[in-house]
């Protein structure tokens, strides 16, 4: 079998994010992966609090401490992670009533929160109003009417910002969420009329604008260009309509490598561009909202080799974890399947040989990669998916094949703490009746 030595630079960069450049064994927050697996079992998600803090502070350093950084809970609805980001000084945006409850349990006051999403039901609007949420990011004229009616019925007032669908989505974004005809936001040309309608409704307090038109962009210059376009629009509408936008949420969508060959988002470039933009023009509160960028590099998915075998002259390793917990790494949602950032956790520098690595599910989709360059794997060996902290468990089809949920661990000051207990075989029966 041919030895393979080249390791993708994105894997090395991800190891460096965890402070493991040049190390023999992967560690998370300073605790060896093998120790975490021994203590908590596999499959396991492990997060390094120090890496989350470092990432948050790097955004603050790049953009200036007066930019509000919102944590997008959808990227990882972990209570301990929410608490940590709240303590670090992040704001938060939610996209469902469940996320609102999670945000409150993490310590945010409802008044500090923003609620986005194109399909908020009347029940959710009512619930969020009742909790006293700070600002609704409205995405249609119909939603504005529903909100105004509920405010009248409940004799309440609420903050509101309009999510604008720009004619172009964020250049370079791998997932586009706007531009042209879209479920997200209000088309730019319809916004002035909607702003007039909001201004005429005394119970709706117009706070500003919101744009979020794509995610997983690696083009910082394009992101700055979009921010400039949003500012120009805000200023034009303020002039034309005699309004004031106290705040503008510029979205985010900063890319993080998930697959081999992925580049690095130039945070310094984005920060410099934004600071230059803010040096002129009227002062207002600027916000960015980030999920993946804050959490992905801090998280690792650990799985053990259950079995190895030869088939068609190739080595296969079957893990106890896979698509059902860590779908992104198997290429779910990607147009082209590429290998994820996978390593043998206990042996980072051993020479590699090709090995096909998959999970236990009965679908060909449950495969991390074919003929990946990895050190030889045997039963019980530990495999780690790097940059797995965002859109992990919550984004995965964990109902498929009824395996239990993995445990989750947060390592803080060198001490690992179980923050989600492992599921059990019988969980599959929960809530069901025969
Ligand atoms: C409105 C909104 N804000 C924030 C995010 C978070 O994006 P990311 O995790 O890529 O930073 C998303 C992701 O879909 C979103 O739809």
Q: Which of 18-32, 277-291, 379-393, 395-409 has the lowest mean pLDDT?
A: 277-291
What separation in Å is there between the alpha carbon of 248 and the centre of ligand 1? 16
**Cα 183 to chain centroid, rounded:** 20
> Which two tokens mark 405?
């949920």
DSSP-derived secondary structure for 303-342: EEEEEEEEETTEEEEEES--TTT-GGGGTTT-SS---BSE
Pocket of ligand 1, candidates 218, 258, 289, 394: which has the most ligand atoms within 8 Å of its Cβ, to mutate? 289
What separation in Å is there between the alpha carbon of 54 and the centre of ligand 1? 20
Alpha-carbon distance 247 to 230, whole Å?
12
Burial 296-334 (b: 16+ CB within 10 A, else e): bbbbbbbbbbeebeeeeeebbbbbbbbbbbbbbbbbbee
Phi then psi for 339, rounded to 5 degrees?
-65, 140
User: Which of 211, 213, 235 minimizes the C-alpha distance to 284?
Assistant: 235
Stated as kind and residue range, the H or E segment containing 205 is strand 204-210
Closest CA to ligand 1's atom 2: 212
Phi then psi for 431, rounded to 5 degrees?
80, 0
- Matching residue, tokens 């609102």: 100
What separation in Å is there between the alpha carbon of 290 and the centre of ligand 1? 6
What separation in Å is there between the alpha carbon of 130 and the centre of ligand 1? 25
What separation in Å is there between the alpha carbon of 389 and the centre of ligand 1? 14
Whether residue 382 is predicted with pLDDT greater than 50 in this model: the reply is yes
User: Which of 146, 106, 107 minimizes the C-alpha distance to 127?
Assistant: 146
- State the Cα torsion 335-336-338-340 to the nearest 10°: 0
The CB density around residue 424, as the number of other CB atoms within 10 Å, is 10
Q: Which atom of ligand 1 is nearest to the CA of 163?
A: 1
Percent of the chain whose predicted confidence (pLDDT) is above 70: 99
Whether residue 3 is predicted with pLDDT greater than 60 in this model: the reply is no
Residues in the chain: 434
What separation in Å is there between the alpha carbon of 170 and the centre of ligand 1? 12
Using DSSP's 3-state secondary structure scheme, residue 23 falls into coil
Closest CA to ligand 1's atom 6: 291
User: Which of 116, 108, 63 minimizes the C-alpha distance to 85?
Assistant: 108
Q: Which atom of ligand 1 is nearest to the CA of 390?
A: 9
Whether residue 4 is predicted with pLDDT greater than 70 in this model: the reply is no
Residues with CB under 6 A from ligand 1: 72, 74-75, 116, 177, 212, 215, 252-253, 289-293, 390
Answer with the residue of higher pLDDT: 291 or 336.
291
Pocket of ligand 1, candidates 270, 291, 292: which has the most ligand atoms within 8 Å of its Cβ, to mutate? 291
Question: Residue 176: which pLDDT band, with cuts at 50, 70 and 90?
Answer: confident
Whether residue 377 is predicted with pLDDT greater than 60 in this model: the reply is yes
Closest CA to ligand 1's atom 14: 215
Provide mean pLDDT across the span 418-424. 98
Query: Which pLDDT tens digit goes with each residue over 59-99?
Result: 999 999 889 999 999 999 999 999 999 999 999 999 999 99
What separation in Å is there between the alpha carbon of 34 and the centre of ligand 1? 33
- The pLDDT assigned to 1 comes to 44
Q: Which atom of ligand 1 is nearest to the CA of 70?
A: 4
Question: Residue 180: which pLDDT band, with cuts at 50, 70 and 90?
Answer: confident
What separation in Å is there between the alpha carbon of 291 and the centre of ligand 1? 6
Q: Which atom of ligand 1 is nearest to the CA of 290?
A: 11
Query: Which pLDDT tens digit goes with each residue over 124-170?
Result: 999 999 999 999 999 999 999 999 999 999 999 999 999 999 988 77
Answer with the residue of higher pLDDT: 28 or 181.
28
- Matching residue, tokens 């259950």: 306
Alpha-carbon distance 295 to 289, whole Å?
13
- The pLDDT assigned to 294 comes to 98
Whether residue 5 is predicted with pLDDT greater than 80 in this model: the reply is no
Q: Which of 31-35, 176-180, 353-357 has the lowest mean pLDDT?
A: 176-180
- The pLDDT assigned to 220 comes to 96
Query: Which pLDDT tens digit goes with each residue over 276-292?
Result: 999 887 889 999 999 99
């Amino acid at each position: 079998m041919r030895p393979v030595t080249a390791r993708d630079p994105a894997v090395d960069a991800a190891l460096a994010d965890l402070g493991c450049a040049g190390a023999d064994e992967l560690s998370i927050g300073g605790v060896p992966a093998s120790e975490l697996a021994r203590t908590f079992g596999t499959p396991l998600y492990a997060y390094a609090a120090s890496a989350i803090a470092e990432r948050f502070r790097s955004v603050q350093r790049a953009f200036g401490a007066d930019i509000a950084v919102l944590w997008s809970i959808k990227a990882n609805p972990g209570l301990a992670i929410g608490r940590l980001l709240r303590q670090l000084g992040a704001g938060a945006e939610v996209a469902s009533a469940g996320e609102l409850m999670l945000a409150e349990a993490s310590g945010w006051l409802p008044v500090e929160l923003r609620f986005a999403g194109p399909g908020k039901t009347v029940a959710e609007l009512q619930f969020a109003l009742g909790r006293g949420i700070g600002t609704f990011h409205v995405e249609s004229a119909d939603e504005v009417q529903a909100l105004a009616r509920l405010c009248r019925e409940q004799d309440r007032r609420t903050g509101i910002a309009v999510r604008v669908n720009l004619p172009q989505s964020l250049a370079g974004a791998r997932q586009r969420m706007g531009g042209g005809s879209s479920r997200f936001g209000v088309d730019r040309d319809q916004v002035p009329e909607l702003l007039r309608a909001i201004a005429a409704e005394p119970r709706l307090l117009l706070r500003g604008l919101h744009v979020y038109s794509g995610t997983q962009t690696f083009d910082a210059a394009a992101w700055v260009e979009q921010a400039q376009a949003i500012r120009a629009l805000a200023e034009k509408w303020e002039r034309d309509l005699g309004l004031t936008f106290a705040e503008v949420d510029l979205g985010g969508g900063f890319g993080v490598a998930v697959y081999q060959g992925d580049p690095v988002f130039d945070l310094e470039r984005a920060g410099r561009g934004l600071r230059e933009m803010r040096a002129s023009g009227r002062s207002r509160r600027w916000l960015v909202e980030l999920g993946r960028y804050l959490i992905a590099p801090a998280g690792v998915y650990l799985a053990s080799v259950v079995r190895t075998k030869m088939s068609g002259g190739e080595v296969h390793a079957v893990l106890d974890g896979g698509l059902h917990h860590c779908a992104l790494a198997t290429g779910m949602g990607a147009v082209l399947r590429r290998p994820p950032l996978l390593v043998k956790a206990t042996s980072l520098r051993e020479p590699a040989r090709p090995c096909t690595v998959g999970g236990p599910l009965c679908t060909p989709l449950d495969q991390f990669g074919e003929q990946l360059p990895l050190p030889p794997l045997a039963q019980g060996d530990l495999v780690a998916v790097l940059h797995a902290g965002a859109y992990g468990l919550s984004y995965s089809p964990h109902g498929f094949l009824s395996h239990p949920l993995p445990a989750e661990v947060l390592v803080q000051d060198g001490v690992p703490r179980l923050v989600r207990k492992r599921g059990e075989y019988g969980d599959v029966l929960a809530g069901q009746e025969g």
